[in-house]
Amino acid sequence: MAKTQKFKTEVNQLMELMIHSLYSNRDIFLRELVANAADAIDKAHFAGLTNPELIQDWSIRIDIDSENKTVTVTDNGIGMNEAEVIENIGTIARSGTKAFMQMLSEQKEKLAETPELIGQFGVGFYSAFMVADKVELRTKKAGSDDPAVLWKSSGTGSYTLDDCDKTTPGTEIKLFIKDDAAVYLDRWKLENIIHRYSDYIAYPIILPVKKVNEDKSESIEDKVVNTSKAIWLRKPSEITEDEYKSFYSHLSNFGGTDYLKAIHVSAEGVSEFKALLFLPKTAPFNLLMPDIQKKGLQLYVKRVFITDECKELIPDYLRFVCGVVDSSDLPLNVSREILQENPHLAKIEKTVVTKVLGELKKLLENDRESYEKFFSEFGRMLKEGLHTDFANAEKLKDLVMYESLNSERGKRITLAEYVNAMPESQQDIYYITGEKTDAVASNPALEYFRKQGYDVLFMTDPIDEWVMQSMFQYQQKHFKSVTKGDMEFDGEKEKIEEAQKKYAQLVDYLKSELGNEVSEVRFSARLTDSPCCLIVDGAALSPHMERLFKAMHQDIPESKRILELNADHALIEALNAMVGKEEKKEELSQFVRILWEQALIAEGSPLKDPAAFAKAVTALLLKSAK
């Protein structure tokens, strides 16, 4: 005889929350019910280890009755008796899954096999009321003589219990679909939800399909719609290249099937998870467009899809990595759709980053050509990590590459290769920043280093200058910009002091003529062929950084340059001879402006008045041609 019982107060509150606000996407209901069905089969499968009579061909079935507007989810799992129905569905926080796992943990002996259980049955079940105005549940306990149970509710505060004529073990949940949820009576819609959320559930999910026979009659054919075996749970030796390519195409943002490397991760211990990650070959057009680029890895928990954009699983500078992480530790509860911050995520991220950087290091060591192509596409992202991921900064320093003064044009070297090639007399790692390789290679500030045979790294990515603000040393060698600050040159100190005295009058004139455009005029051994070059104080922004800020419409004050002179250059001697001669005054002033502006051009800075510069050069050429 049917019995009516009231839900506990907290169950009413949960259903109100579930129906109206907990999930913004009603598709979730099918994911929850399928996950619960998989739990029930897991329990039956486990019980079958000691009771072989319970073993059968496990499956989950979904039937649509469009005429009666119902969707029925059926499993042949463990099922429930009346007491368990009351306990697990009538009372919140009395999840059958939770209690079952607690029972397993309390057993003293080691179990040969523990089923993987997902979700909280007593919570996810109520998601059915998001799309149904009435739910009927029929269930029979496997391996028990207890009668089958019929549970009914409209989700309005009470439910009824009665016996029913179900003879097979398992659970059948029939949803009477609301008028505004009629889309869930379409087979394509349910199949789409299964592919999105439950494709890798370990048991076949059957969704019958109508078939037109040769005689034009119709029949119903069972169709398994899920993949069942997650590719990331399989051994790499069992996966074909076509399967890798197909899966990469399925989850990547890069298009096509051509990837560089597939990386399997299997972590056990404190945090248990499996992952399959891919390094792409080429960068997509939107890689540097944060507003439209999808970031993060796909997250599954026990093969149940959670989100395809879990940013907490991988740092932003590795956003080119695509893949899937399947965790055994993350909870699936009322916040299943909105996965909040969880300590396990940080542990997973740490392992994932370590694995990715380790694989990149192997690629660099074992397949230099492939790595260089990869770095051309994604090197700028790796450099971001130098400034943001201090925990892995040393690993990243081993991976970054630059062109250099002594290397073949178009070829990059690593920092390790730079240090290994340093002569004994060289103490620091020298670098120069700029927009293009050809521009920095012709900078006069390189002349001393070229003469000494010292290599200089060419940092021409827009991000390089920013990164160098926090990258101070590598292998105990300090980084020094060849265009910034004071620099000591062996055996040149005395020569510079003599030049400063000899040309003191010229130095004073240059300071007066150039005024606020320079902070200092001095002699230096930095130059061997050019008459002068521009240097900035060590604490000031470089010209390259100034140009980057201006390109971003940032209003920043311009830093004054230090004008360094070459005491051995004939032009400096000639200018010095003109100082103080009244008849040479106008001509000397013109020469100084040209000297200053050509130094600006050499460092890559724009001229304030290019037309005036061109006019002055033309006048000088004309005079020389007469």
pLDDT in tens, 134-176: 999 999 999 899 999 999 998 787 889 999 999 999 999 999 9
| Claim to verify: residue 410 and residue 528 sit in the same structural domain | no
Please, is 350 exposed, middle or buried when counting C-beta atoms within 10 Å of its C-beta (0-12, 13-18, 19+)?
A: middle
36-85 confidence digits (pLDDT tens) = 898 899 889 888 878 888 888 999 999 999 999 999 999 999 999 999 99
End-to-end CA, the chain: 121
Helices (H) then strands (E): counts for the chain: 20, 24
Domain-terminating residue out of 197, 221, 245:
221
CATH code assigned at 48: 3.30.565.10
Nearest to 93 by CA among 70, 123, 117: 123
Residues 515 and 445 in one domain: no
pLDDT for position 54: 86
Whether residue 373 lies inside any domain: the answer is no
The answer on 216 and 238 residing in a single domain is: no
Residues 291 and 189 in one domain: no
Could you identify the residue written with the tokens 């150039």? 514
Q: Which of 481, 504, 523 is the last residue of a domain?
A: 481
The pLDDT value recorded for residue 398 is: 97
Shared-domain flag, residues 336 and 272: yes
Residue 600 in any domain: the answer is: yes
Q: What is the pLDDT of residue 357?
A: 97
| Residues 194 and 258 both lie in one domain | no
Q: How many CB atoms lie within 10 A of CB 8?
A: 14
Is residue 527 in a domain? yes
- What's the structural domain count of the chain? 4
Question: At which residue do the structure tokens 């989700």 appear?
Answer: 155
Is residue 374 included in any domain, yes or no? no
Residue 84: which of 75, 97, 71, 74 has the closest Cα? 97
Q: Is the pTM of this model over 0.95?
A: no
| DSSP class per residue in 213-260 | -TTS-EEEE--B-S--S-GGGS-GGG--HHHHHHHHHHH-SS-SS-EE
- Please give the pLDDT value at position 336: 45
What pLDDT does residue 126 have?
A: 81
Tell which residue, 205, 94, 79, has the closest CA to residue 151: 79
Mark whether 35 and 161 lie in a shared domain.
yes
- Residue 381 within a domain: no
Q: Measure the CA–CA gap between 281 and 261, rounded to whole angstroms.
A: 8
Q: Are residues 454 and 580 in the same domain?
A: no
Q: What is the pLDDT of residue 183?
A: 96
Same domain? 50 vs 156: yes
Cα(238)–Cα(243) distance, rounded to whole angstroms? 10
* pLDDT score, position 334: 37
Boundaries of domain holding 212: 3-221
Q: What is residue 489's predicted lDDT score, i.e. its pLDDT?
A: 73
The string of pLDDT tens digits covering residues 592-616 is: 898 999 988 888 788 888 888 888 8
Query: Which residues have a Cβ under 8 Å from the Cβ of 465 and sit 6 or more positions away?
Result: 433, 459, 542, 544, 545, 548
CATH number at residue 599: 1.20.120.790
Please give the pLDDT value at position 139: 96
Query: How many C-beta atoms surround the C-beta of residue 253 within 10 A?
Result: 16
Asked if the structure places residue 311 within a domain, the reply is: yes
Report, as ranges of residue numbers, the positions in the chain whose pLDDT lies below 50: 92-97, 108-122, 292, 334-338
513 and 465 assigned to the same domain: no
Domain presence at residue 371: no
Task: Quote the pLDDT of residue 119.
Answer: 44
Would residue 200 count as lying in a domain?
yes
Residues 212 and 283 in one domain: no
| Residues 427 and 514 placed together within one structural domain of the fold | no
